[in-house]
Amino acid sequence: MLLDPRSKMIMVICISSLALIYNTPARLLQLLLVTLVLLFIFSFNLRVIAGYLKPFVFLMFFLFVVQSIFSPGDRVILALGPVSLISIEGVLAGATVVLRLLVITAAAMLFTTFSSRDFILGLVQWKVPYEIAFMVSTALRFLPLFRDELKNVLTAIQLRGVDLKKVPWGKKMVMYRRLTFPVVYRNMLKAEQLAIAMEARAFRAYPQRTYLRQLNLQRVDYVVILLSLLVTFILIMRYIG
Amino acid sequence: MESCNEAVVVQALTYQYHASGPFILRDIGFRIDRGEVVVITGLSGCGKSTLCLCISGLIHHHRNGVISGKIILNGKDTRGMRGPALALEVGMVFQDPDTQLFSPAVEDEIAFAPENLCLPPEQIQERVNNVIDTLGLAALRHANPYYLSGGEKHLVALAAVLALDPPVLILDEVLSQLDSLGKKRVIATLEILRDKGKTIIAVEHNLEALAFADRFMVLEAGKLIRFDRTEKILADQDFLMTRRLV
Amino acid sequence: MFLELRQVGFSYPQKTSPAVIGINLSLKKSGITAIVGPNGSGKSTLTKLMLGILPASEGQIYLEGRNITEYSLAEAGRRIGYVSQNPDLQLFCASVAEEIAFGLVNQGCDVATLEERVNFYLDYFELAAYRKSFPLHLSQGEKQRLAIAAVLANEPEYLILDEPTNGLDAYRKRLLEEYLHKVAELGRGILLVSHDIAFVDRMAERIIALANGQIQSDSNQRGEGYLCY
Ligand SMILES: Nc1ncnc2c1ncn2[C@@H]1O[C@H](COP(=O)(O)OP(=O)(O)OP(=O)(O)O)[C@@H](O)[C@H]1O
Ligand SMILES: Nc1ncnc2c1ncn2[C@@H]1O[C@H](COP(=O)(O)OP(=O)(O)O)[C@@H](O)[C@H]1O
Ligand SMILES: [Mg+2]
Ligand SMILES: [Mg+2]
């Protein structure tokens, strides 16, 4: 569906706000379903969604376990002698945290349905100064690329014959410590080099700038924006009230 | 602005990346006329890229660097000129293809410079289309530059600078990673640009690749050892042999 | 056969069309082979598949009879020295000397041999003056030589070099050629990827031409590989 990126940004903000306010697994589950349906409408298939969420699985599981154990509750499921380990309340609290994270990451996927250049356009057309829009979008875009970089370095190290899985922990820590500085420094160099490249192509030559493309809010965008805001408002009111 | 025929004038240029480090450029001086094509060559590490960065004014980003001497571009002294203002005088394609692309699509990358020049959208579109046609990038138009092959990246970087349309163009070893078709296209493009009166400075190791150049500049360990007409240098086998350039 | 590829194909996740497709190829343990082809024809992708840096989406790759997926990156890297197209991506140490020593140190090489080899490679590739420099502060051609030296220092039995002449001047190219010929004479194999036609012509006994991710020709005659290139 061809929606203006700004409409999608509003939707993401609405869904995330709801996710932060809702505090029961049932509500969050409903919200997750709605989000998935939205993603489906924006022609995501399940495989892409799963691939996108995969890196977070471990984190979520970890959070779930930690939350389950450390949230106190009366209805004990698993106890170690006199110490209660897991209670129903704990499990529910764990589920809440994980579902909340799922909803937010799923909603954030809507950002991937338009290019970062459209994101900049959206912000600029809402009167955000273009320098700031570029800064924000570049930062957002380079987070995943930073991960790629790290992977590249780890690959390079292994290709030189170091089996990271087999190196004992003590030795590994020593190696990582020695590599930290060059790896961090190289990313600084790269960031600086990119800033130079932008400047070399006349970035910030003038206080204004024009754009190849133009974003136009269509009637459907106004409808989507208004509807999202209204529904979110009503839901929040009902939940609180 | 004084009228002058010289695109680049360098006088007594000396450079160190660090005050206590070695001299990377030593007392370099030369003049390049408007519309000239000049090839810079020399052993790896002799200071070619550093010289290019000095001419384009981007060397100031190396905060520890120590520079002395004078660089005049199109009649303007570059000392104290702001980076973006310099970009209106000179464009540069860097040697490393990986660290000069930052847009989500090739088209956006090429549009970036004309957008900064505040051109109206129709003119931006026209420039983008022209550049894409001349360099044969149509198939990559919507690709993400981050995920291109090495040669493709260099071609896109060149395209992005061509769209800036600066009077002086610097290419730092751009031909080396291109396939034969890409090389031909770039050389043909450079010839057209020269005929339009652009000044072109290209770093290159393969002496035959840019034989259409007017003059060759040879650097050795930071010194300019020869700056002469192409025919003369290419015919001087003795010189090329002793300087280990062939 | 040292490396054997059967019906190998690979698609990048962001792309609709495959980067390489239906590759059948056998590489002997000795001899110099070159891969040539236009930009984006899949040369670098193919070399990354051979090392297991990228997993083949179709077909099998065997390194000395064992499927490459059964090797860890480190095992593959110890057998096949790999220099990637952009040397920046494989330099990660704090100094030039450390960079060359890295692989040896981790293989438990003794101090005397280590010292000797590091010095040898620093001298041969004319990097001795930069021994203490930070690798990413070198010029592009120096980085290229360093990346090559760091891999050669491990003395792997096979070498894959992706555009090794990038940034090298004629003289350094000759030094590299001489060294690689010496390596080849010791019975170790080399696979080159290059756009440098003269270099390929001087080096390779076998030339494989790639286009659109497919093998167009595979010939033992010098110069012939370019017919379609
Ligand atoms: N990381 C990546 N993600 C997505 N696509 C990629 C990636 N790397 C390369 N490609 C694409 O795959 C194709 C083959 O790329 P590859 O790097 O193998 O080409 P190549 O033959 O080595 O080219 P060159 O001569 O320019 O180095 C190209 O179309 C390229 O754009
Ligand atoms: N950022 C830097 N910091 C310190 N030294 C550098 C830096 N960049 C290049 N050098 C050194 O300056 C010399 C010239 O480099 P460069 O101009 O890139 O050479 P080339 O002629 O190969 O383009 C080299 O010896 C290199 O090691
Ligand atoms: Mg250079
Ligand atoms: Mg390649």
Mean pLDDT (10-residue bins), chain A, 241 residues = 83 92 91 90 78 78 82 76 78 88 86 82 88 85 77 92 86 85 87 91 92 88 93 90 77
A40-56 pLDDT, tens digit per residue, is: 888 777 777 777 777 77
Q: Check if the beta carbon of residue B65 is closer than 8 Å to that of residue B14.
A: no
A180-234 pLDDT, tens digit per residue, is: 888 888 888 888 899 999 999 999 999 989 999 888 888 999 999 999 999 999 9
Q: What is the largest CA-CA distance in chain B?
A: 54
What residues of B are in contact with residue C164 (Cβ under 8 Å)?
Answer: none
Q: Check if the beta carbon of residue C140 is closer than 8 Å to that of residue B43.
A: no
- pLDDT score, position C139: 95
User: Is A94 inside any structural domain?
Assistant: yes
Contact C40 B148 (CB under 8 A): yes
Provide the residue count of chain B.
246
**Sheet of B199-203, strand order:** B90-93, B168-172, B199-203, B37-41, B215-220, B223-229
Of C132, C168, C150, whose CA–CA distance to B18 is shortest? C132
Please list the rounded mean pLDDT of every run of 10 residues in chain C (229 residues).
96 88 95 95 97 96 96 95 93 94 89 94 95 94 96 95 95 95 95 94 94 92 53
Of C75, C195, C90, whose CA–CA distance to C148 is shortest? C90
Same domain, A67 and A26: yes
Q: What is the DSSP letter of C208?
A: E
B90 phi and psi angles, rounded to 5 deg:
-150, 140
Same domain, A42 and A98: yes
Same domain, A2 and A26: yes
Structure token digits, residue A70: 């450390």
Percentage of chain B exceeding pLDDT 90: 90
B39 phi and psi angles, rounded to 5 deg:
-105, 130
The Cα–Cα gap between C182 and C166 comes to 21
What residues of A are in contact with residue B130 (Cβ under 8 Å)?
Answer: none
Supply angle C-alpha B223, B227, B228, rounded to 5: 160
Same domain, A34 and A145: no
Q: Would you give the distance in Å from CA C214 to the centre of its chain?
A: 20
Same domain, A96 and A148: no
Q: Check if the beta carbon of residue C162 is closer than 8 Å to that of residue C151.
A: no
Mean pLDDT to the nearest integer, B66-73: 95
Q: What is the largest CA-CA distance in chain A?
A: 72
Question: How far, in Å, from the CA of B191 to the mean position of ligand 3?
Answer: 23
Of A8, A23, A7, whose CA–CA distance to A236 is shortest? A23
* A10-15 contacts at long range (C-beta below 8 A, 24 or more positions apart): A10/A224, A10/A225, A10/A228, A10/A229, A11/A38, A11/A107, A11/A110, A11/A224, A11/A228, A12/A107, A12/A108, A12/A110, A12/A111, A14/A228, A14/A229, A14/A231, A14/A232, A15/A103, A15/A104, A15/A107
User: Is A122 inside any structural domain?
Assistant: no
Confidence of residue B225 (pLDDT cuts 50, 70, 90): very high
B88-141 pLDDT, tens digit per residue, is: 999 999 999 988 999 989 999 999 999 999 999 999 999 999 999 999 999 999
Q: Which residues contact C86 (CB under 8 A, 6 or more apart)?
A: B96, B97, B98, B150
Q: Tell me if residue A151 falls in helix, strand or coil.
A: helix
User: Is A121 inside any structural domain?
Assistant: no
User: Is A229 inside any structural domain?
Assistant: yes
Q: What is the DSSP letter of C129?
A: G
B160-169 pLDDT, tens digit per residue, is: 999 999 999 9
User: Which residue is associated with the tokens 């041969």?
Assistant: C124
The Cα–Cα gap between C33 and C47 comes to 12
Q: Would you give the distance in Å from CA B185 to the centre of its chain?
A: 17
What residues of C are in contact with residue A162 (Cβ under 8 Å)?
Answer: 74, 103, 106
Query: What is the extent of the structural domain holding A152?
Result: 129-210
Of A188 and B189, more confident = B189
- pLDDT score, position B227: 97
Q: What is the DSSP letter of A206?
A: S
Q: Which residues contact A145 (CB under 8 A, 6 or more apart)?
A: B146
- pLDDT score, position C222: 61
Structure token digits, residue A102: 């799922």
Of B158, B172, B166, whose CA–CA distance to B196 is shortest? B166
The Cα–Cα gap between A123 and A125 comes to 5
Q: Cβ-count burial of A21 within 10 angstroms (0-12 exposed, 13-18 middle, 19+ buried)?
A: middle
What per-residue string of b and e applies to A43-66 under the rule 16 or more CB within 10 Å gives b? ebeeeebeebeeeeeeebeebbee
Closest atom of ligand 1 to CA, residue C45: 18
Same domain, A27 and A88: yes
Mean pLDDT to the nearest integer, B37-61: 95
Q: With left for phi above 0 and alpha for psi between -120 and 50, is residue B46 left, alpha or beta?
A: alpha
Q: How far is CA A96 from each of CA A27, A65, A78, C37, rounded to the nearest angstrom?
A: 9, 12, 20, 54
B83 shares contact with chain A (CB less than 8 Å): yes
Structure token digits, residue A224: 């989507």
User: Which residue is associated with the tokens 């894959």?
Assistant: C160
C52 shares contact with chain A (CB less than 8 Å): no
The percent of chain A in helix, strand and coil, each rounded to the nearest 5, is 75, 5, 20
Question: How far, in Å, from the CA of C43 to the mean position of ligand 4?
Answer: 6
Same domain, A78 and A194: no
A148 shares contact with chain C (CB less than 8 Å): no
Q: Would you give the distance in Å from CA C26 to the centre of its chain?
A: 16
Q: Which residues contact B144 (CB under 8 A, 6 or more apart)?
A: B104, B105, B106, C14
Helix (H) or strand (E) holding C202: helix C197-203
- pLDDT score, position A172: 85
User: Is A44 inside any structural domain?
Assistant: yes
Q: Supply the pTM of this predicted model.
A: 0.89
HEC string of chain B? CCCCCEEEEEEEEEEECCCCCCCCEEEEEEEEECCCEEEEECCCCCCHHHHHHHHCCHHHHCCCCEEEEEEEECCEECCCCCHHHHCCCEEEECCCHHHCCCCCCHHHHHHHHHHHCCCCHHHHHHHHHHHHHHHCCHHHCCCCHHHCCHHHHHHHHHHHHHCCCCCEEEEECCHHHCCHHHHHHHHHHHHHHHHCCCEEEEECCCCCCCCCCCEEEEEECCEEEEEEEHHHHHHCHHHHHHCCCC
- pLDDT score, position A182: 87
What ipTM describes this predicted complex? Answer: 0.93
Cβ of residue C17 lying under 6 Å from some atom of ligand 1? no
- pLDDT score, position B1: 45
Of A172, A171, A166, B147, whose CA–CA distance to C73 is shortest? A166
Please give, rounded to a whole number of angstroms, the shortest distance from the CA of C227 to a CA of chain A.
35
Q: Which of C142, C144, C165, C171 to mutate to test the pocket of ligand 2 (most atoms within 8 A of CB)?
A: C142
Question: How far, in Å, from the CA of C41 to the mean position of ligand 3?
Answer: 26
- Going B92 to B94 to B98 to B99, the CA torsion angle's sign is negative
Contact A160 C73 (CB under 8 A): no
The Cα–Cα gap between C173 and C166 comes to 9
User: Is A31 inside any structural domain?
Assistant: yes
Question: How many domains, chain A?
Answer: 2
Closest residue on chain B to C166 (Cα): B176
Q: Would you give the distance in Å from CA C179 to the centre of its chain?
A: 14
Judged against a pLDDT cut of 50, whether residue B2 lies above it is answered with no
Same domain, A156 and A235: no
Q: Cβ-count burial of A219 within 10 angstroms (0-12 exposed, 13-18 middle, 19+ buried)?
A: exposed
The Cα–Cα gap between C168 and C158 comes to 22
Same domain, A3 and A99: yes
Same domain, A38 and A70: yes
Of C146, C153, C110, C152, whose CA–CA distance to C129 is shortest? C146
Same domain, A237 and A145: no
C81 phi and psi angles, rounded to 5 deg:
-80, 130
Closest residue on chain C to A159 (Cα): C77
Q: Which residues contact C176 (CB under 8 A, 6 or more apart)?
A: C145, C148, C164, C165, C168
User: Is A81 inside any structural domain?
Assistant: yes
Q: Tell me if residue A30 falls in helix, strand or coil.
A: helix
Q: What is the largest CA-CA distance in chain C?
A: 52
Of B239, B244, B222, whose CA–CA distance to B48 is shortest? B222
- pLDDT score, position C107: 84
Mean pLDDT to the nearest integer, B241-245: 91
User: Is A88 inside any structural domain?
Assistant: yes
What per-residue string of b and e applies to B42-73 under the rule 16 or more CB within 10 Å gives b? bbbbbbbbbbbbbbbbbbbebeebeeebebbb
Same domain, A9 and A86: yes
